[in-house]
Structure formats: structure tokens, C-alpha cells
């Protein structure tokens, strides 16, 4: 009898276990109502600062990240890179033109990543104090930076012939850095189509983009490609990356995500697989360039918002968010420019964003050989040193009720501008060094006052902390400084006397302990 009871008990436990596992595996259904139930992980809310990179075949230095598209558009013009110079660089590099049968595919051999050192990249991430990192597994060209079993147009079989992404992920995991996967390939179908006015020329000159034998490299209906099959392949690629690298965060560059049901299936798979592993994961939801845009990206009220360079971001955002921005201050990829924004410029963005409930996702621009320009490295190292000293005022903080001393209306007038017709951007250039921003400790025990730059006078004035504000200040200290800080609270605000010397030359962070 005891054996029978034990057998029944074991069977019951096994049944419950199988049922529980099955339930966990299907917690999220492939529809937006179900997916919206997923919560943003706490680690992402606390992280504030992450790093990724635009790196790939388009990094050979002849043009912008959209090189793949502009090769097939003779009218292309963007900034100082015009069609003529782009095509001249291309012709010189590959030894021919489009009418010679050359095309984007012929740039692949020049993307060798021969000096790529994933351990050094990971060490640089650690020095920057970024909390998560990765790079784009594929841009709009569709060329993958992982070693895929799903398709052939990737770095495992061509160019470097290495699993570039996997190598970086392995090094990041050794250092306990969270992993981000970013992808632009959903928009690849038809991306390289010649504009209608050049289609006749393309056919007459037999451009390779129209050749059916290259339809796996150039997916388009112009060479016999099928969009439904392309989307199925996209799903398989994403599942492969999810299973193989188990990213903590995924960012997608947009597409007809609401119209194409396959996207919800992919995300449900991601969430359910993470649920089985007990892994808290997240999605970055890129917000639309225009309200009427049919893509960009997921539904409203879903996951953490992402704004590209603050584009179309309002002063007040009702959800947690992050700004993605490039370290070059120019284009997203390496195109021959070795410069970078300074650590001070990056911190201006980071401080202001965090005060408003956001953060920064910074894109690097490595060279095709796998090296990261010195100026980019220096910016990351200096940023990390500042965060070593002042990270308490950034990481694991929450919004205070005021981000700055200006009203919302004043900030809208000051910072929101139209940088081209129909597109707005947040203007950091109008911020002054002695402007202050506020963050708050997660346990509400302290308010932090951060300056946007290095103040020029001997005092700063935090207007929001005047005697009218109902907070009881216990003490004030300057992070990174052992000198006693003198302060006075009046009807005008909280006046803080600056010590000499200051603890750094970029920005200050004062801790206001509350009783």
C-alpha cells in the first residue's frame, strides 16, 4: 500500500510540475493585450545607462549607416556625403560600379574585423560604468553579426567568419553586464529598392539588387522575394538569438509591428522563454517619428519607451523611457570620422534625462577592423570616472516631483524645437553649466541636486528647495568631496556655497539628506 501511495504521490507531483511548467511556458499569449501585462524589470529602471554599437559592412568608411540604401539611389544627398562622393569611394574600393554588376554585397570582404577584441570592448564597457551593453545584430542591410543557422548572409560565413556578437556577449557575461540585442533587419525587405525614377536605369544596367540569385541578400519583390517568407525568417532569426544568447533587453528599429501578427508571436516567445529561466527581461519601444506614422513601433503603454536623439519626446513622459544617441555627434556608424562628443556633453544628456525619468542608450561607431576610435574610448573612460564619483545620484534613483527649476511650459518653450519640418527634437545646447536638475534616492531618504556642467560662480541656487518646499533638510554634502558644505535656505531657493577645489571638472552632484 505504501508503494502505491508513493507512486500516486510522485505521479501527482510530476503532474503538478508539468502543469506548472506548461503554464509558465504559455504565460504570455501572442497578442498585445497579453503582452502588455509584462512589467518593465527593476534592473532596467535602475540602470539608466547602456551601450550598443552600429557596426557592420556599412562601417567600411565610405558613407553613413544607410550606405546600403543610398548605393542604389543616384540622387542621394545627406549632409556632406553626396551621391557622387559615395559612388566614387565605392567604385575605388570594389573596383567597379553598379552597371559592372557590383553592389552592396561586394563590400562584405572589406568588413574583416581583424583587430576585433571582444574582451577589450567588454573592459571598456565596465570602465564606462554602463549597466547593459551589446550591439546591433543586423542593420537594414540584413547582414548578421552572429553565426546563424537560419540564413547565410552573416559574419559567421562571410567577411570575418566569426560569431562577433556571441564573442562579445560571452565577455560581457563574464563581467556580469546585462545584454542588449538591437536589430534593424525587420525593415530590410525592399530597403535597397532603387527609387521609382531610377528603376528603368537599374533594369537596363542589370544592377545586382534586381538579380533573383541575390534575393537572399537583397530581399525585395523586385527580384522574386516574398515578404511573408521574409517575416517568417525574421522570426526564426530572433528566436535563434533569443535562445542562443538569452538577451536581457531587446530593441527593434521599427516596422509594421501592429499589422504583422508574427511580431507578437516572437515577443511572446521571448517573454515565455525568459519566464522559464526566471530571467527579468525588457523591450525598448521606439516611439514614432510622427504621430501618424504606420510603424515605429509597438503599441502605446508597452514596455520602456525609446526616443532617438530625443526626437519627438515631450518634456513630460508618462512612462519610463530612454534616449538612444550616437557618440560621434554626427552619424551612427564609422564613416571616416574619428571624433566623438566629450564626456561633458554626454553627461549633460544623461543628467537631464535621468532627472526627467529617462536614461541614455549610447551607440558606438567602431571601425570595420573592429577597433574603437580613441576619442570614443576617452569619452567612455571619463564618463565612467565621473559615475564612479557621482553614480549615487544617477543609478537606482527615481524622479523627484520636479526635474528642474523651470515649469513645464518654460521647458517646452526652451528645449523643444523643430529641427526639420514635421520633426522635433530636445535641445541640450540651451542648457547652461549652472542649471540644476533633481533626482531622488529610491528610498526617498535624499534628494540629489546635479549641475548640468561646471558652475562658473561660487554658489548655485536650487530654486525648488526654497523654504516654501515642505522638506526637512538634515545635511548637504557634495559627492566626491570631504569638505563641509555651507548652505542657506531662503524664499528664493537653496543657496549652496561651492568648495575649492571642486571634485571634478564636468558636473557636480549634491546630496540633500532628509530628516
Report whether pLDDT(7) > 70: no
First to last CA, the chain: 66
Give the C-alpha separation, 258 to 264, whole Å. Answer: 8
pLDDT at 245 over 90: yes
Phi, psi of 494 (to 5 degrees): -95, 110
Question: What are the pLDDT digits (tens) for 69-99?
Answer: 889 988 876 554 566 788 899 999 999 999 9
User: In whole angstroms, what is the distance from residue 81 CA to residue 93 CA?
Assistant: 16
pLDDT tens figures, 23-66: 455 799 999 999 999 999 999 999 999 999 999 999 999 988 88
Q: Considering only CA atoms, which of 376, 282, 283, 281 is closest in space to residue 325?
A: 376
For residue 196, pLDDT over 50 is answered with: yes
pLDDT at 383: 98
Q: Alpha helices of 48-162 — where are they, by DSSP H?
A: 67-70, 83-94, 118-128
Q: How far apart are CA 212 and CA 220, in angstroms?
A: 9
Give 9-43 as a DSSP string. HHHHHHHHHHHHHHHHHTSS-SSHHHHTTPPPPHH
Whats the size of the chain, residue-wise? 515
Region 497-511: mean pLDDT is 97
CA 455 to centroid of chain Cα atoms: 30
* pLDDT at position 369: 98
pLDDT tens per residue, range 421-471: 878 888 998 999 989 999 999 999 999 999 999 999 999 999 999 999 999
> Please, what is the average pLDDT of the chain?
92
pTM exceeds 0.85: yes
Same fold for the pair 32-398 and 408-514: no
CATH architecture observed for domain 32-398: Alpha-Beta Barrel (3.20)
* Span 259-272, pLDDT tens digits: 888 999 999 999 99
Task: Name which of 130, 2, 47 is nearest 395 in CA terms.
Answer: 47
Residue 265 host element (H or E): helix 262-277
pLDDT for position 19: 43
User: Could you tell me which residues come within 8 angstroms of residue 107 by beta carbon, excluding any fewer than 6 positions away?
Assistant: 57, 58, 60, 62, 67, 90, 93, 94
Nearest to 350 by CA among 30, 43, 72, 129: 129
Residue 81's pLDDT is 54
Burial 309-344 (b: 16+ CB within 10 A, else e): ebbbbebeeeebbbbbbbbbebbbbbbeeeebbbbb
pLDDT tens, residue by residue, 372-390: 999 999 999 999 999 999 9
Whether the link from the prior residue into 501 is cis, omega within 30° of 0, is yes
* Over residues 231-240, mean pLDDT: 98
Q: With 0-12 CB in 10 A as exposed, 13-18 as middle and 19+ as buried, what is 114?
A: exposed
Q: Please state, in angstroms and as integers, the Cα–Cα distance from residue 39 to each residue in 28, 35, 45, 361, 395, following that order.
A: 12, 9, 11, 20, 19
Compute the average pLDDT of residues 190-213: 95
Instruction: Determine whether domain 408-514 maps to CATH 2.60.40.1180.
Output: yes
Res. 5 pLDDT band, cuts 50 70 90: very low
Cβ atoms of residues 59 and 76 within 8 Å: no
Task: Give per-residue pLDDT as tens, 281-307.
Answer: 999 999 876 655 555 689 889 999 999
Amino acid 297: pLDDT: 83
How is the chain split into domains, by residue range? Answer: 32-398, 408-514
- E strand or H helix that includes residue 269: helix 262-277
SS3 428: coil
Query: Mind listing the pLDDT tens digit for each residue in 397-407?
Result: 999 999 999 99
**CA–CA separation, 469 vs 479, rounded Å?**
23
For residue 78, what pLDDT is reported? 57
Amino acid at each position: 500500500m505504501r508503494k502505491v501511495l508513493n507512486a500516486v504521490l510522485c505521479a501527482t507531483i510530476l503532474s503538478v510540475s508539468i502543469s506548472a511548467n506548461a503554464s509558465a511556458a504559455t504565460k504570455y499569449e501572442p497578442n498585445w493585450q497579453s503582452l502588455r501585462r509584462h512589467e518593465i524589470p527593476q534592473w532596467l529602471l535602475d540602470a539608466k545607462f547602456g551601450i550598443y554599437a552600429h557596426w557592420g559592412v556599412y562601417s567600411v568608411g565610405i558613407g553613413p549607416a544607410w550606405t546600403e540604401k543610398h548605393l542604389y539611389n543616384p540622387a542621394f544627398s545627406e549632409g556632406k556625403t553626396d551621391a557622387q562622393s559615395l559612388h566614387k569611394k565605392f567604385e575605388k574600393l570594389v573596383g567597379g560600379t553598379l552597371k559592372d554588376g557590383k553592389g552592396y554585397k561586394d563590400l562584405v570582404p572589406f568588413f574583416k574585423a581583424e583587430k576585433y577584441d571582444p574582451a577589450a570592448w567588454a573592459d571598456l564597457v565596465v570602465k564606462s560604468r554602463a549597466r547593459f551593453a551589446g550591439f546591433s545584430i543586423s542593420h537594414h542591410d540584413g547582414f548578421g553579426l552572429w553565426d546563424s543557422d537560419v540564413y547565410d548572409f552573416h559574419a559567421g560565413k562571410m567577411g570575418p567568419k566569426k560569431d562577433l556578437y556571441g564573442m562579445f556577449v560571452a565577455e560581457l557575461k563574464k563581467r556580469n553586464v546585462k545584454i542588449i540585442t538591437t536589430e534593424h533587419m525587420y525593415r530590410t525587405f525592399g530597403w535597397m529598392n532603387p527609387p521609382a525614377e531610377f528603376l528603368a536605369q537599374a533594369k537596363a544596367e542589370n544592377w545586382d539588387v534586381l538579380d533573383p540569385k541575390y534575393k537572399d541578400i537583397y530581399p525585395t519583390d523586385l527580384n522574386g522575394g516574398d515578404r511573408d517568407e521574409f517575416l517568417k525568417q525574421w522570426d526564426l532569426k530572433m528566436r535563434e538569438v533569443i535562445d542562443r544568447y538569452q538577451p536581457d533587453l531587446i530593441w527593434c528599429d521599427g516596422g509594421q509591428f501592429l499589422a504583422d501578427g508574427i511580431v507578437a508571436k516572437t515577443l511572446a516567445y521571448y517573454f515565455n522563454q525568459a519566464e522559464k529561466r526566471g530571467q527579468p527581461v525588457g523591450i525598448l519601444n521606439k516611439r514614432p517619428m510622427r504621430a501618424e506614422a504606420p510603424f515605429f513601433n509597438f503599441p502605446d503603454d508597452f514596455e520602456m519607451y525609446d526616443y532617438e536623439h530625443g526626437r519627438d519626446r515631450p518634456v513630460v513622459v508618462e512612462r519610463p523611457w530612454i534616449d538612444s544617441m550616437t557618440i560621434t555627434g554626427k552619424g551612427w556608424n564609422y564613416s571616416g570620422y574619428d571624433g566623438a562628443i566629450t564626456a561633458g556633453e554626454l553627461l549633460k544628456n544623461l543628467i537631464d534625462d535621468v532627472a526627467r525619468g529617462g536614461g541614455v542608450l549610447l551607440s558606438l561607431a567602431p571601425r570595420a577592423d573592429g577597433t574603437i576610435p580613441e576619442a570614443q574610448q576617452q569619452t567612455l573612460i571619463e564618463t565612467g570616472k565621473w559615475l564612479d564619483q557621482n553614480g549615487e545620484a544617477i543609478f537606482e534613483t527615481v524622479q523627484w516631483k520636479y526635474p528642474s527649476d523651470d515649469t513645464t511650459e518654460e521647458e517646452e518653450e526652451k528645449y523643444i524645437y523643430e529641427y526639420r519640418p514635421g520633426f522635433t527634437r530636445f535641445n541640450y545646447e540651451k542648457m547652461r553649466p549652472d542649471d540644476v536638475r533633481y533626482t531622488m534616492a529610491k528610498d526617498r531618504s535624499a534628494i540629489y541636486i546635479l549641475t548640468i556642467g561646471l558652475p562658473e560662480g561660487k554658489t548655485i541656487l536650487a530654486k525648488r528647495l526654497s523654504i516654501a518646499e515642505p522638506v526637512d533638510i538634515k545635511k548637504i554634502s557634495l559627492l566626491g568631496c570631504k569638505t563641509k558644505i555651507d548652505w542657506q535656505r531662503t524664499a528664493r531657493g537653496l543657496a549652496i556655497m561651492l568648495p575649492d577645489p571642486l571634485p571634478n571638472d564636468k558636473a557636480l552632484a549634491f546630496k540633500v539628506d532628509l530628516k
